[in-house]
Amino acid sequence: MKSQDDVVGSQTDKPRLMVVAFISFITGAFLMSAFLTVGRRDWPSYLISFPGHPMDQAKHKPISTTTTISVQSPTTPIQLQAILHYATSKITPQQNLQEITLSFNVLRSLSPCNFLVFGLGYDSLMWASLNPGGRTLFLEETPEWVKTVLKDAPYLNAKTVPYRTHLKEADELLTGYRDEPDCLPGRAFLKGNRKCRLALENLPEEVYEREWDVIMIDAPRGYFPEAPGRMAAIFSAAVMARGRKRVGNTHVFLHDVDRKVEKEFANEFLCMKYKVESAGRLWHFEIPPNNSSSTNFC
């Protein structure tokens, strides 16, 4: 989920071509499922299994490639658009095949679900198509970029959000948030929380009205001092997850963990004890509800 300044397409990069093939197959599978019965394939079994099938009840459990499966899964308009887009575009998603697979497995097991994505970019059609029937909302910092993306992908649900932070303030925010009671676990909240600078207090109402099953943090920009940085997105995702009332944990994916700020804020708010897997520059957390009055998130 990067802006146009962050993405560079390549026709000769083998990993990117693998990603294109992966996305094309996933979206194509939804289309073919409306007409075909899937039999034995040479594809990996997790790519031809679908949630809700009696032979796929165990979480992320691959199904046998020797078993004939009848799939009844209507194709959505956004999946059709994703097929067309990735089959004809030279620009590929930022994440690599291994990173995308982590999120794909979770979405496959939970969809339809509530999926909140910090960032809007060339991979947004893919993420929306992997949550058919669910609610996928993209939050982006730049109004002009939202207009550019939605011009070619009108099916996407994307909103512009303001940020109060700058990357250069990361150290100060990390060491000083404990001095503000409205930032502390057990008391922290988001909507209207002006006192806690890490709280995203002015998001679209839709964000506060829903509990999000999956949260992807791949924005805002965090590679130059005046950029917003991902400090507030990470903190706010932690507050959402801890305040969950519905059954189940919240899956949080954080990209670019090779960078200092992402890593430090993940350690502080998402908690390494909740980290369940990783691939490349992506970490996956499963955060349980927790309304503890402790002064520490982890």
pLDDT digits (tens, 9 = 90+) for 7-66: 444 444 555 555 555 555 555 554 444 333 333 333 333 343 444 433 343 444 443 333
Are 281 and 258 in contact by the 8 Å Cβ rule? The answer is: yes
| Tens of pLDDT, residues 130-176 | 999 999 999 999 999 999 999 988 889 999 999 999 999 999 999 99
Are 97 and 22 in contact by the 8 Å Cβ rule? The answer is: yes
Are 294 and 238 in contact by the 8 Å Cβ rule? The answer is: no
DSSP-assigned letter for residue 214? E
- Kindly tell me the burial class for residue 289, based on how many C-beta atoms sit within 10 Å of its own C-beta (0-12, 13-18, 19 or more): middle
User: What pTM was computed for the model?
Assistant: 0.78
- String of DSSP letters for 112-142: S-EEEEE--STTHHHHHHTSTTSEEEEEES-
| Tens of pLDDT, residues 235-267 | 999 999 999 999 999 999 999 999 999 999 999
